[in-house]
Amino acid sequence: MENTVVKIDGLVKRYGDLIALDHFSLEIKEGEVFGLLGPNGSGKTTTINCLLSLLSFDKGDIQIFGKEMAPTSYDIKKDIGVIMQNVAVFDELTVYENIDYFCGLYITDKAERKKCVDEAIRFVGLDDFLKFKPKKLSGGLLRRLNIACGIAHKPKLIILDEPTVAVDPQSRNKILEGIQELNAKGATVIYTSHYMEEVEQICTRIAIMDKGKKIAEGTKDQLKRMIKNTETITVEVLGLPEEIVPQVSELPHVYDCRYDGSRLTVCCSGGKHNLIRVLDVLQKNDLSFGRVYTELPTLNDVFLEITGKALRDKED
C-alpha cells in the first residue's frame, strides 16, 4: 500500500472577513508528482505556507510523513525541500557557497555535505559557474541555483512553486527533466505552475483549487473527462450548403456545430467514431473537403472550464 506523505484535513485560514482556505483537504501519496493548480488568489501559496507551518491557521489538521506538522517540527522539516517562486539566495555568496550554506542547515558532517553539494551542482548543471555570484547569472541559471539550494540535502518531499517563471526554453526543459529525475530517485513532489503544458507533462495527479476550495482532483485524463468538450473536429470545406449544419448537429454526442464560410467546427461530448460520422455526412452529400483534424481537450481547456475565464489579478 502506498504511504501518505501529505495529509491536509479540513484546513481553514481566514484573513479578517476573507476566507483564504475553506475546509480544504488534500492527500498526497509517496512517489507522486502532484500538481496544485488554481488562478491567482485561489489559495495555492497559502496552502503551501500552512503546510510548512510558516502560517498559522484557524482550523484543520496537517500531517507530513504521518506526523503532526508544527513550527518546531524540525525532524519533519529536514526531509522537506522548498523552492519558492521568488529566488532566495545570498547575493554576496558564490554559487558553491550558496548551495553549501543551505545544505549545511541540514547536514553538519563536512564530508557528507561536500558530497551532497557536489551532486547537487552536477544535477542542475552549474559546474562551470561555481565562483559566480548570483547577479552574474542568467535567469535560467539563477533558477537552477535556487533548485540546487533546495534539494542538496536530499529531501523526501520537494515543494516547487512556479520554478520555471521567466526562464528560457532550454532551462525550462532542464528543470522539468530534473524534477522527473528527482521523482524517479524516490522524492515526492508538489508542483505549482500556471504553465498547463508543464503540469500535463510531469504530474501524475492534479488538484484544481479556487476560492480556497478544492474543486477538482484526479489524473489529467480523469480531469479531461469532467468537462463537456471531449473532442473538437474541424473540417476545411468551401460552399457548405445550409442544410448540412443541422444534419451534423443531429449526430450522436454533437453539442455544438458551426460553419464560418471555410471551416466546419464540430464539438462533441463523449462517444467514439465522431469523426467518421461527420465525414460520412459530407460524403453522402457528395461534398469535397480539404484538411481534417481532431483535437482532444488540453489541461488548459479543463482549467478554464472549471475555474472560468474571468481575469484574476490578486495573488494567493
- 148-177 per-position pLDDT tens digit: 999 999 999 999 999 988 788 888 888 899
Number of domains making up the chain: 2
Domain identity same for 242 and 134 = no
- For residues 301 and 283, give the distance between their C-alpha atoms in angstroms, rounded to a whole number: 31
Shared domain for 209 and 250, answered yes or no, is no
Please count the other Cβ atoms lying within 10 Å of the Cβ belonging to residue 179. 25
Q: What is the pLDDT of residue 170?
A: 87
307 lies in a domain? no
CA-closest candidate to residue 9, choices 28, 31, 35, 33: 28
Strands 157-161 and 188-192 turn out to be parallel
Residue 144 belongs to some domain of the structure: yes
Q: What pLDDT sits at residue 108?
A: 93
CA-wise closest residue to 201 among 211, 187, 191: 191
Pair (46, 167) in one structural domain = yes
Which residues, including other chains, have CB under 8 Å from residue 272's CB and lie 6 or more apart?
none
pLDDT in tens, 24-60: 999 999 999 999 999 988 999 999 999 999 999 999 9
Q: Is residue 160 part of a domain?
A: yes
User: What is the structure's pLDDT at 284?
Assistant: 95
At 168 the pLDDT is: 85
The phi and psi torsions of 28 (rounded to 5 degrees) equal -120, 125
- Assess whether 161 and 57 both reside in one domain: yes
Residue 181: closest CA among 206, 149, 147? 147
State the chain's mean pLDDT as an integer.
93
* 142 and 58 assigned to the same domain: yes
Q: Is residue 310 a part of any domain in this protein?
A: no
* pLDDT given for residue 172 in this prediction: 87
Identify the CA nearest to 185 among candidates 141, 149, 155.
155
Residue 315's pLDDT band (boundaries 50, 70, 90)? low
Closest Cα partner for 280 from 289, 271, 270?
289
Give the CATH number, domain containing residue 167: 3.40.50.300
Q: If you average pLDDT over residues 121-146, what whole number do you get?
A: 94
Q: Is the pLDDT of residue 1 over 50?
A: no
Mean pLDDT of 190-208: 94
One-letter amino acid at 199 equals V
The answer, yes or no, to whether residue 314 has pLDDT greater than 60, is no
Please report which confidence band the pLDDT of residue 86 belongs to, taking 50, 70 and 90 as the band edges.
confident
One domain, residues 17 and 130 = yes
Q: Is 174 in the same domain as 275?
A: no
What's the domain range around 267?
A: 231-296
CATH of the domain at 249: 3.30.70.100
